[in-house]
Structure 1
Amino acid sequence: MSIALLIIYCLLQKEQRTWAILLALTVFSLFFLRGEIAEKINVTSFTEGQLTAQVTVKGIPRVNGDSISFQVKHESGERFQVSGMLANENEQNVWNKLRPGDRCTIKGKLEVPNVASNFFEFDYEKYLYQQSIHWIYRINPSQSTCENDPGTWLDQFNDWRMDRIGSIQETYHESTSGLIVALTYGDRYFIDQDVLSAYEKLGVIHLLAVSGMHVGMLTAFLFYVFIRLGLTKERAMELLLIGLPFYAILAGAAPPVIRASSMSFIVLFCLRVKKKVHPLFGIGIVSFLFLMIHPYSLLQLGFQLSFLISFSLLISAPTIRTLYPSYFKQMISVTFIAQLITLPLILYHFFEWNVISLPLNLIYIPFITMVALPSSFLASVFDLFLPSALNLPYYLLQTIVPPIHFSLMYINKWPLGSYIPGKPSGWQLFIMYGVILYILYIWESQCKRWLIRSLILIFIVMISLKMTPYLNAKAVVTMLDVGQGDSYVIELPRRKAVIVIDTGGVIRFSNEPWQKRKNQFDTGKDIVVPYLKAKGISSIDQLVLTHGDHDHIGGAEGIVRQIPVKELLYGNGPITKEGENQVLRSFFEEGTKLSFVESGYSWSYGDNDFIILSPFSDKKEEDINERSIVIAASIEGVKWLFTGDLGEKGERRIIEQYPNLRVDILKAGHHGSLTSSSEALLDHIMPKVVLISAGRNNRHGHPHPEITSRFEARRMKIYRTDLNGAVQFIWSQGDINVETMLESDKTGP
């Protein structure tokens, strides 16, 4: 990016075009060298295992219900990501007092960070690696002690920042305090999760990030205040030059903040020394220096979006000012260009874009710029000096923000507007940016009917992306890694249908109010939905919930809130658990067709057949596992058996009722428990491959060694989520390819 910016700057200066290639080679060589150095020094001197260490707290600690997390710096200089579970409320109160700079003696175990175990999943290990962190330090809080230490000046500054954030959170209503903290201190952690999700899905989340708009407004405001206080322009600019680096730290020091603060610094510095600099040269220098200090930032979305938008708008600014003298038309142009230039990256990282984000931005940009941002700044300043009762900017926000956020969440529930084409491939990204550059070219040239041509091109590209899965003749069955639970996604050729069997679910043992966590993990919302969206799946034809155990249905509500489900299949029998009632009620309220099925129920999509083998209508089992829906499927000629948590009793009934049942691939019952996968069943159906969905180091000991021995004795190929992560079967016309997330296996069954 830096190379491109500097090259374009040189090309714009006609007399310097001959230097463009030399400049590009120089910049590339320097960055390549810096990247090589970063890779060589980004290593650890520790090994996995128990460790008692003296460390210093860095950054702001997070106490989230019964968990705590923060970063520390070891005496050796290496950083760890600390994580621990709190035993009681008193322990929570003690760790709530932890501050940046504190010195701690902690005891725990160094563990390798979790890698992405599902396709298209966020890779936490890579995220930490890019921060030069190689270990998760699992500590026992009761065996760790900390003492107050002022630390470095940066620790003291972060300590003050933590105090200010805490004061706003404790003093003001949570519906507004989170927005104030986000806009002033660059921390979105305290915004309600449903509100934040609406901002993200509707494409206005960037308005909550401290960026050029925030820094520019604050700089102009302070410059005006300094002048009114009697300072000369020179002294005012000098004070701002001193203060900008501190504000960048105060606002979280994320790439957009650094970029905006650095650009403002360069502009002020040039004004102060009375020198002119081309904006493209300025942003090129800022991005290059940023990458020389933090080379891994090149791989981070925040850096990519921030500099890409800024560069695009700087290039387009002269044309916008020439063509559109009115402020409203300029705002439309800026919003359109920003949306257009970031669309490929948004689809690549989030797999979704909302078509109403453009009009929403036109509404919310003025709201944030003219109301929310200045009021948040003033509310934060007033909080420093005045009692909360006199904080008038806060009361203005408290009047306006709740209905604004309510409107956002209401719009977020609309079924229309969401565009989910799937994660674009590399060549699709290349084509998209080629089309975007052409659109910007004909817009700047003001070619005849450029707008109609642009809209037609955008429509063609978006339809082509959306239609790609419908042209794929391959069938795909994926066993997702949802921990100690089940979830399978079946995609029929040419997107004839999408069938999901179970949704996983996290069983929680936190019942006390103090244990409740903010933004709790949900397998449906955090694993199944991202996978579906990455595959371009915007609706589910059938969702089969095999039975009412939470590890099979716990993620269902997280799915139906985001992806429509046409039909829900549930076992015909007594519904005894409150969780079952709640899930079924949620789907009914969303308009999903509820079908209560039993043995003999079947459906087909072309040559792909599905039949329910269990539960049986003549026997109402009390054991919820024995009421599991069992599905025999023939998908592109391959025979599958999905058994839920069916036990040996139900297996015997299936053997009796279906004497000719044969299977190629078996989903092992009850996560490989001793209660399922009997020898009688295995000898009857004779599978070649078995799938086991079980959590790593789960407390049940699944899969049981005796069960895996049964599979091995029959020379069955075993795939396990705890070892292989997600497993994907892709086949067409008899050719089968098996891909595992954590291991490579191309041999197939």
Structure 2
Amino acid sequence: MIQLMCVGWVIGIASIGKTFPILQSLILPCIALFILSLLLKLTVLKPVHTLWFKFLQLCLGFSLGISLGYSYAQQQLNDRLNFREKQAEQVEVIAYVKTINELSESSIQQKIQVLNRHTEVVQWQTFLKNEKQADHQPVLELGQYYHLQGKTLPAHSYATQGVFDQEQWYLQQNIMSGFKVTSVQKLSEQDISALGYGRYVRQQHSILNQFQLWMEQQRLVLRNFIDQQPVKHKGLLLALLTGDKSLLTPETEQLFQRFGMNHLLAISGPHVLIFALLVCWSLHQLICRYCPQVYLKWPKQYLLIVPFCICVLLYCAFVGFEIPALRTLLTCLLISGLVLLKQKIQPLSVLLLSASILLMFDPFSILSAAFWLSYGACFVLLRIYQTVQQKGHAEEIKTKTQAIKIQLKILIESQWKIFLALFPLMLIFFKQVAWITPLSNLFAIPWIGIIIVPLDVIAALCYFIFEPLGSLIFQINDLCLSILLIFMHGLDQIFSPALQPVTMSFWMLLSLCLGLIILFLPRGVVPKTWSVLCFVPLIMIDSNKNEFELTVLDVGQGQAIFVRDQDQTMMIDTGGNYDESKFSVGKQIILPFLSVNGVSELNQLILTHLDQDHKGAYESIKADLPINTIYSNEQLAVANSSQFDYCHQGQKWQWNDRVKMTILSPKAEQLVNAKDEKNEMSCVVYLQVTNAEPYQNFLLMGDAGWPTEYQILQDYPNLKVDVLVLGHHGSRHSSAYHFLKQLKPKLAVASAGFNNRYKHPSVVVESRLKELKIPLLSTIKQGSIHFSKHKSIMAIEFERDSQQWLKP
């Protein structure tokens, strides 16, 4: 019963941000029925143990868990959304610094507590230039108060399916806004008290807050110490010790990413346990040497359990209570409680209780990949442990050689099982996998877990006791890291690993998850052969067989449109960042979107013109995305697997007698002017879908302006348009009044970026549309705009409606 309620609680919390009114309305009935069932079981039905009554109780407990979890998560979400900044503006704030900053090559990111913005203290993330790049740039110091001036930078995600959700990440981290600092003035505690925040100052003097501040100061001191050491891999030493990646080079981080080992750079359960075990082993040796009689009074497991839990708590505080560390802390406390109470330990129940308690304190951790990967790996290791225990009772280990063979077998088995079990989660969160991960982990995990992390912990402890010894051990550990990197570089030369995008539709991914869950469940719960039925859809479902859909993607200030019907796929433009090396629209938006939609190649790509915001992303992904034919108004270099052709007026394509596309502009003889008049020579695409209502005819204008609009009206006087994708992102030099009036579309769409410097879509265009009573949609407010045909109905969906925090 408790297990099922915990499962329901986790599922309910996982529904955070979704709209399920029925779950909220079920709370009171579920509570009432659950209490009634307990009373009946204790009184009237006490001697009766019918199967149907047990089943009813289990259903009620599960339903109660889901409804309570959902309601609690929604309440917490609404409270947090109330303090989120929505507009970029110049502000002055009073702030306190209580956490260590994060360094990068060009900037310093520092979380601050803002005292004067709301009735409650909120957390913002500040951005300053790195002091190494700017000598006079002030640094925000731990435990200090400041008067800051700057500009708020509200989180605004690229609301496109499969893309990293910045707004979700900000909520999960409890960051209410970004903040670009322009002026810093240090304040004293007396100044803060004089401003009316004396109560907050007194709170920071409490024992708990002073302890947390001291811990952060020790992390900073240790980071500075490692940074000054004569070692090559100071970034890895620090990351493996505290999870702080401030000293890590991009090359090293990319190497770990290519091998699928980036999770090792974050603090996990083993790091915490290694520290606690080292301290407790040392304590045990002291007791055995100087006062062994203590064990006669208190057994070892009872005497050492308290210092063990204290060590786990201290290390969790030292690394900032990261999710994997918190999971370990809660699990250790639960197991310790059961040991002290002499209760039977049920590992699965402990894991579920740990997750439920963690979500009670921080329901937003459910949004983190670390939560799912951490508990997923624990579940797999638990199943491996149970299997080993069962075999251990049946087999007798006679020699050390047999024991070593069994340990190696367990290591190999655990790696491929963990990789297989976490495969769906990797696709959900990262949309790509590294197939070499199980092989590289065979060496890396034992080497890191048995040698590097223990040495790191010992070196840190020695630093606080005797600094020269700590320095020596860090240098020895640096040599151990060199061995690890030599191994990884060797594999890199042999296999040239890379993160591979994997394309799976939602239903294929769901089938895979169900099949793997059945495989990893204990024997006897569900027949293992049922997993085969779940894997069948992976073979049978053809993800390309879809009814017509057209999606105007949210790619910021740019344009990218995806079109699909049956087995035909096309994109019209790909968007592009001004510098794809800093943020790649192609790799961070286009490829993830295609991946979650089960698209691994395109039949056609039309680049309306070669401006960076329309074709820039293509340059960064052309080696990763096979495309049969590419069209544009200018010649461009394409991959060897692609063919190039010019687009010009009169070209037509037809898909299965259901979708017809025509190029309306430019004329073939005008292509010579494309280099000098990129915008005006944009390829204008007219798309028609048969038997669709209310949206059947789509006109996609690229960056074309008034002259092209006038020419189209002359060449196609009877043109019917239901959906008009505005030219030049809604610029005032496009979408002329006469053009809009004659076409009179049912809907206008502007593809533009949040807070873009061009102020697209233009106020002038908006007023024209309003006067003509043409509704305007924009990727700024709606996110990606998705048209899909079901039978004869062309439905429309907005990505920003998919999550509560994405809604404007």
Structure 1: distance between partners of 2:773 and 2:177 = 38
Deviations 1:487-540 (A, max 9, x none): 111122x3x1221222223336xxxxxxxx9x9333222222222222122222
Structure 2: distance between partners of 1:712 and 1:40 = 33
1:521 is aligned to 2:571 = no
Structure 1: distance between partners of 2:494 and 2:744 = 52
1:255 is aligned to 2:295 = no
Name the SS of the counterpart of 1:58 in structure 2.
coil
Within a 5 Å distance, the mapping from 1:594-609 to structure 2 comes to: 594-607=644-657, 608-609=659-660
Name the SS of the counterpart of 2:125 in structure 1.
strand
Conserved in 1, the CA contact under 8 Å of 2:602 and 2:625? yes
Shift of 1:660: 5.7
Structure 2: distance between partners of 1:120 and 1:360 = 28
State the TM-score, normalizing by the size of structure 1: 0.78
Within a 5 Å distance, the mapping from 1:242-321 to structure 2 comes to: 242-264=310-332, 277-280=345-348, 282-321=350-389
Shift of 1:79: 1.8
Within a 5 Å distance, the mapping from 1:434-449 to structure 2 comes to: 434-440=514-520
1:80 is aligned to 2:123 = yes
Structure 1: distance between partners of 2:132 and 2:789 = 56
The residue type paired with residue 160 of structure 2 is N
Within a 5 Å distance, the mapping from 1:68-467 to structure 2 comes to: 68-75=108-115, 77-84=120-127, 92-93=134-135, 97-108=139-150, 113-114=155-156, 117-130=159-172, 132-133=174-175, 135-136=176-177, 138-142=179-183, 144-145=185-186, 152-168=210-226, 176-188=233-245, 191=248, 196=253, 203-225=260-282, 239-264=307-332, 277-280=345-348, 282-323=350-391, 326-352=406-432, 357-362=437-442, 364-370=444-450, 373-374=453-454, 377=457, 385=468, 391-401=475-485, 404=488, 407=491, 418-424=501-507, 429=510, 434-440=514-520, 453=529, 456-457=532-533, 459-464=535-540, 467=541
Structure 2: distance between partners of 1:738 and 1:340 = 36
Conserved in 2, the CA contact under 8 Å of 1:99 and 1:159? no
Name the SS of the counterpart of 2:550 in structure 1.
strand
Partner of 2:661: 610
Partner of 2:686: 632
Conserved in 2, the CA contact under 8 Å of 1:505 and 1:555? yes
Structure 1: distance between partners of 2:531 and 2:763 = 60
Shift in alpha-carbon separation, 1:212–1:741, aligned structure 2, 3 A: closer
Shift of 1:220: 3.7
1:716 is aligned to 2:774 = yes
Structure 2: distance between partners of 1:458 and 1:278 = 29
Aligned match for 1:469, one of 539, 543, 554: 543
1:731 is aligned to 2:789 = yes
1:486 is aligned to 2:559 = yes
Aligned match for 2:99, one of 45, 56, 59: 59
Partner of 1:11: none
Aligned match for 2:572, one of 462, 478, 501: 501
Shift in alpha-carbon separation, 1:212–1:705, aligned structure 2, 3 A: closer
Structure 2: distance between partners of 1:25 and 1:418 = 36
Shift in alpha-carbon separation, 1:109–1:380, aligned structure 2, 3 A: same
Conserved in 2, the CA contact under 8 Å of 1:547 and 1:629? yes
The residue type paired with residue 438 of structure 1 is I
The residue type paired with residue 735 of structure 1 is I
Shift in alpha-carbon separation, 1:672–1:106, aligned structure 2, 3 A: same
Deviations 1:434-466 (A, max 9, x none): 53343345867999xx7xx588456425335xx
Shift in alpha-carbon separation, 1:487–1:412, aligned structure 2, 3 A: farther
Structure 2: distance between partners of 1:632 and 1:600 = 11
Shift of 1:258: 1.6
Shift in alpha-carbon separation, 1:36–1:610, aligned structure 2, 3 A: closer
State which drifts further: 525-534 or 235-244. 235-244
Shift in alpha-carbon separation, 1:341–1:414, aligned structure 2, 3 A: closer
Structure 2: distance between partners of 1:250 and 1:274 = 31
Shift of 1:248: 1.3
Unaligned runs of 5+ in 1: 9-15, 509-516, 576-583, 745-749
Shift of 1:476: 1.1
Deviations 1:366-414 (A, max 9, x none): 4543565456556767885366898132133235426616846985766
Structure 1: distance between partners of 2:229 and 2:642 = 43
Partner of 1:3: 3
The residue type paired with residue 725 of structure 1 is G
1:568 is aligned to 2:630 = yes
Conserved in 1, the CA contact under 8 Å of 2:147 and 2:186? yes
The residue type paired with residue 625 of structure 1 is N
Shift in alpha-carbon separation, 1:446–1:302, aligned structure 2, 3 A: closer
Shift in alpha-carbon separation, 1:592–1:409, aligned structure 2, 3 A: farther
Conserved in 2, the CA contact under 8 Å of 1:108 and 1:139? yes
Shift of 1:201: 7.2
Shift of 1:557: 3.7
Shift of 1:263: 3.6
Name the SS of the counterpart of 2:702 in structure 1.
coil
Name the SS of the counterpart of 1:609 in structure 2.
strand
1:663 is aligned to 2:743 = no
Structure 1: distance between partners of 2:136 and 2:650 = 59
Structure 2: distance between partners of 1:423 and 1:409 = 35
The residue type paired with residue 504 of structure 1 is G
Shift of 1:691: 1.8
Structure 1: distance between partners of 2:571 and 2:104 = 32
Deviations 1:237-295 (A, max 9, x none): 66544332121122342221122244446667888999874544544553344333324
Conserved in 2, the CA contact under 8 Å of 1:44 and 1:78? no
Name the SS of the counterpart of 1:623 in structure 2.
coil
Question: How many residues are matched?
Answer: 700
Shift of 1:478: 0.9
The residue type paired with residue 603 of structure 2 is D
Structure 2: distance between partners of 1:2 and 1:42 = 29
Shift in alpha-carbon separation, 1:39–1:611, aligned structure 2, 3 A: closer
Percent sequence identity is 24
The structure whose Rg is larger is 2
The residue type paired with residue 212 of structure 1 is G
The residue type paired with residue 331 of structure 1 is L
RMSD: 4.6
Conserved in 2, the CA contact under 8 Å of 1:69 and 1:81? no
Shift of 1:103: 1.2
Shift of 1:421: 0.7
The residue type paired with residue 539 of structure 1 is E
Shift in alpha-carbon separation, 1:412–1:668, aligned structure 2, 3 A: farther
Name the SS of the counterpart of 1:141 in structure 2.
strand
Structure 1: distance between partners of 2:316 and 2:54 = 34
Conserved in 2, the CA contact under 8 Å of 1:112 and 1:136? yes
Shift in alpha-carbon separation, 1:730–1:25, aligned structure 2, 3 A: closer
Shift in alpha-carbon separation, 1:275–1:306, aligned structure 2, 3 A: same
The residue type paired with residue 623 of structure 1 is E
Shift in alpha-carbon separation, 1:441–1:239, aligned structure 2, 3 A: closer
State the TM-score, normalizing by the size of structure 2: 0.73
